[in-house]
Structure 1
Amino acid sequence: MAGKFVLTRSSDGQYMFNLKAANGQTILTSERYQSKDGALGGIESVRKNAGLDERYERRTASNGEPYFVLKAANHQEIGRSEMYSSQTAMENGIASVKKNAPEATLEDHTTS
C-alpha cells in the first residue's frame, strides 16, 4: 500500500492536508489554505519538492525534540513533521516523505 494525502477542512473552514505513510501514520502536515485549489497546489508542491534533500530544514523544538519543515523552491513552508524522539527517527521521517509523497494518492474528505 502506498502513502496518501488526506485533504480535510479545519474547524475554521480552511483546507489542509496530511501526508500519511502506508502504515497510516501522519508524516507531514500542511499549513492551512483559504481555498481547496490552494491546498491542492500545496500537495503538488510536496510531490515536486519531497525528493530534494535541500528542501528539508531540520529543526529542534524548545523542548529539545527534533522535527523538520519541507519548503518549496521559494523558501515558503509547505509542511512540517510531528516531533520526534531522536535525530535518527526524524531522518527516518524525512526518508518516508521522500518515498511516499511522489506517488501518494489523494483522499478528499472535503466533499459530502
Structure 2
Amino acid sequence: MGYFEIKKSDKDTKEPYYFVLKAGNHEVIARSEMYSSKAAAQKGIASVQKNGASTDVRDKTE
C-alpha cells in the first residue's frame, strides 16, 4: 500500500512544504508542487486522495 510523506525544504523560501507519494516498496511515485504551509500540503494530499483513483488513461502523444 502506498503512502504520503509531508516534507519541508531546507532552503529559505516562501513555499517550503511539499509532499511525496511513495509506493509500498518506498519508491517515489510523485512529488507535489511547493506549498506555503503544512496545512496547504495536507489539502493537496486530500485532493490527490479524492481525485487520484482512476483507470482513465489519456494518450496525448498523437
Give me the TM-score of the superposition, normalised by structure 2: 0.81
Q: Which has the higher contact order (CA 8 A, sep 6+)?
A: 1
Question: Which residue of the partner structure matches residue 8 of structure 2?
Answer: 60
Percent of residue pairs identical: 46
In the aligned structure 2, how far is the partner of 1:59 from the partner of 1:104?
28
What are structure 2's unaligned runs of at least 5 residues? none
Equivalent position SS for 2:25: coil
In the aligned structure 1, how far is the partner of 2:25 from the partner of 2:34?
24
Aligned AA (1:83):
M
Give the count of matched residue pairs. Answer: 59
Question: Which residue of the partner structure matches residue 35 of structure 2?
Answer: 84
Displaced runs of 4 or more, over 3 A: none
What are structure 1's unaligned runs of at least 5 residues? 1-47, 50-54
Higher strand residue share: 1
In the aligned structure 1, how far is the partner of 2:55 from the partner of 2:35?
22
What's the offset of the Cα at 1:104?
6.2
Give me the TM-score of the superposition, normalised by structure 1: 0.47
Question: What RMSD, in angstroms, separates the aligned Cα atoms of the two structures?
Answer: 1.7
